[in-house]
């Protein structure tokens, strides 16, 4: 038999096997080239007091004078400020142990680096990404992308981005709002060590995007918890006699956390119960729609609760401050809640009713309550029992009658220089001491 004929059938099989090996191994090779054993960036350490003060100032300066009114708004940051805000964003999302990011501004270009730790066993693995954005028709456009050792071809990159935008635009309502926000940007100017953005501020659009972002972190189980707590609030409000104009905030806190304690006894997660109780009560006290937490479709099935004003030390605004800050603390952490609290007071000092140490005290109480109620299961259960049996507002809220409120920015600076001064730190320490001594927190603070 001719030996040449015996080898011919094997050639197609060999070619087929080669193609199969290439097909199966190419994604693995690409993955290995994308993953590296060391990070391109190392996450920076904790924030200093000066850095936190600078972040507060940046947030204050970036906020429109009247956020509820549509207007033209301009932002301006340098490289250091942009990276400081980026670090803080990574930190408040609890990603700082595994993520590191940095940007650099040059003429007409923003360069960004991202390093993500994927694992440490048996070898450390990192995904390192570099991207360049260039000015294009008053927008920043992704111009180059490198993942690990792989430089993504520009033609493939632009094709992928175009297809992704097309798919998102037809299937994702959130993307449509983000796209509208981008379209509201009038100009983007990147210069050496500085970026300027001019945009049309649309408060309704900002509110929708904020609600959608909030709902991303609310699971289906939490949505059902929120619906349950909203029903309890509805029942509380319905039992208040029509001739009573306002009630103590305890009238809501006690039954809500009685319910939370009962759910925990039935096997539910005490931290999740406490978190959603604060979130639901904050929506109610601020007269906002429950749709912010559970979405429009689910909210249409629920009858709005009749509104009864809740007060703390006979002030409705103090009750709102406490519960709103507690909800933020329970959802996003104490650091962010405290930052927003002080920034809000600084904003009031500059543009509105003035800096209020009474408001700041209520905010700090909200942070303390929610931090203890959502830190660990054992403390969460203790807080449920204590909140369920509340008798007096003084159990958790110090008297604020001796505070000097309504300080303008000029008056505040005359008394305290700024929010990083020793005098201001001492005033905050005094407030903390008063709060820590309240019976509700006895034996729980370290």
Which whole number is the average pLDDT over 130-149?
A: 86
Q: What is the pLDDT of residues 345-394, one digit of tens each?
A: 877 887 788 888 999 999 999 999 999 999 999 999 999 999 999 999 99
Q: Copy the structure tokens of residue 75.
A: 């932002």
Least confident of 1-5, 100-104, 170-174, 266-270: 1-5
Which whole number is the average pLDDT over 141-146?
A: 88
147 near 131, Cβ under 8 Å?
no
Structure confidence at residue 20 (pLDDT): 66
Q: CB under 8 Å to 207, separation ≥6 — which residues?
A: none
Residue 446 to residues 146, 275, 336, 368, 380, Cα–Cα distance (Å) = 46, 21, 20, 12, 15
Q: What is the pLDDT of residues 174-214, one digit of tens each?
A: 667 777 888 888 889 998 889 999 989 888 887 777 767 66
| Percent composition of the chain: helix, strand, coil (DSSP 3-state, to 5) | 55, 15, 25
Longest dimension (CA), the chain: 110
Q: CB under 8 Å to 386, separation ≥6 — which residues?
A: 440
1 pLDDT above the threshold of 50? no
45 pLDDT above the threshold of 90? no
What are the extents of the domains in the chain? 49-198, 217-441
Torsions phi, psi for 148 (to 5 deg) = 60, -125
Structure confidence at residue 165 (pLDDT): 64
What is the DSSP track for 175-219? HHHHHHHHHTEEEEEEETTEEEEEEEE-HHHHHHHHHHHHHHT--
Dist CA 79 CA 237 (whole Å) = 51
Dist CA 369 CA 319 (whole Å) = 13
Residue percentage of the chain with pLDDT more than 70: 87
Structure confidence at residue 9 (pLDDT): 52
145 near 131, Cβ under 8 Å?
yes
91-127 burial string, b = 16+ CB within 10 Å, else e? beeeebebbbbbbebeeeebbbbbbbbeeeeeeeebb
284 near 264, Cβ under 8 Å?
no
Hey, how many other C-beta atoms are within 10 angstroms of the C-beta on 344? Answer: 23
């Amino acid at each position: 038999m001719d030996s040449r004929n015996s080898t011919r059938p094997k050639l197609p099989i060999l070619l087929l096997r080669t193609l199969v090996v290439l097909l199966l191994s190419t994604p693995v090779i690409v993955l290995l080239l994308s993953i590296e054993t060391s990070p391109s960036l190392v996450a920076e350490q904790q924030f200093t007091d000066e850095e936190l003060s600078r972040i507060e100032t940046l947030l204050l300066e970036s906020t429109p004078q009247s956020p509820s009114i549509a207007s033209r708004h301009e932002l301006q940051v340098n490289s250091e400020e942009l990276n400081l805000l980026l670090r803080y964003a990574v930190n408040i999302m609890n990603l700082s142990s595994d993520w590191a990011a940095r940007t650099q501004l040059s003429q007409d270009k923003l360069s960004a680096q991202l390093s993500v730790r994927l694992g440490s066993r048996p070898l450390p693995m990192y995904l390192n990404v570099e991207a360049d954005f260039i000015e294009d028709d008053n927008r920043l456009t992704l111009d180059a992308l490198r993942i690990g050792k792989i430089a993504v071809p520009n033609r493939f990159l632009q094709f992928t981005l175009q297809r992704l935008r097309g798919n998102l635009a037809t299937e994702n309502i959130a993307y449509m709002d983000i796209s509208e926000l981008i379209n509201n940007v009038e100009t983007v100017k990147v210069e050496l060590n500085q970026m300027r953005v001019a945009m049309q501020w649309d408060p309704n659009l900002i509110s929708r995007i904020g609600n959608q972002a909030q709902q991303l972190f609310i699971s289906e189980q939490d949505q059902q918890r929120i619906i349950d707590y909203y029903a309890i609030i509805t029942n509380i409000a319905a039992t208040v006699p029509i001739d009573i104009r306002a009630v103590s905030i305890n009238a809501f806190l006690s039954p809500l956390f009685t319910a939370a304690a009962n759910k925990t006894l039935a096997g539910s997660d005490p931290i999740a119960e406490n978190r959603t109780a604060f979130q639901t009560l904050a929506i109610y006290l601020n007269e906002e729609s429950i749709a912010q937490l559970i979405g429009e479709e689910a909210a249409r099935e629920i009858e709005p609760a009749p509104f009864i004003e809740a007060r703390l030390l006979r002030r409705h605004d103090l009750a709102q401050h406490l519960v709103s800050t507690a909800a933020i603390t329970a959802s996003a952490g104490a650091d962010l809640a405290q930052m927003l609290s002080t920034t809000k007071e600084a904003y009031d000092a500059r543009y509105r009713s003035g800096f209020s140490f009474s408001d700041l005290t209520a905010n700090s109480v909200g942070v303390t309550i929610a931090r203890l109620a959502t830190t660990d299961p054992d403390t969460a259960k203790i807080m449920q029992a204590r909140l369920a049996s509340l008798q007096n507002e003084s159990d958790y809220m110090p008297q604020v009658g001796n505070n000097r409120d309504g300080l303008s920015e000029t008056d505040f600076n005359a008394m305290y220089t700024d929010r990083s001064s020793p005098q201001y730190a001492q005033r905050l320490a005094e407030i903390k001491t008063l709060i820590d001594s309240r019976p509700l927190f006895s034996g729980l603070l370290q």
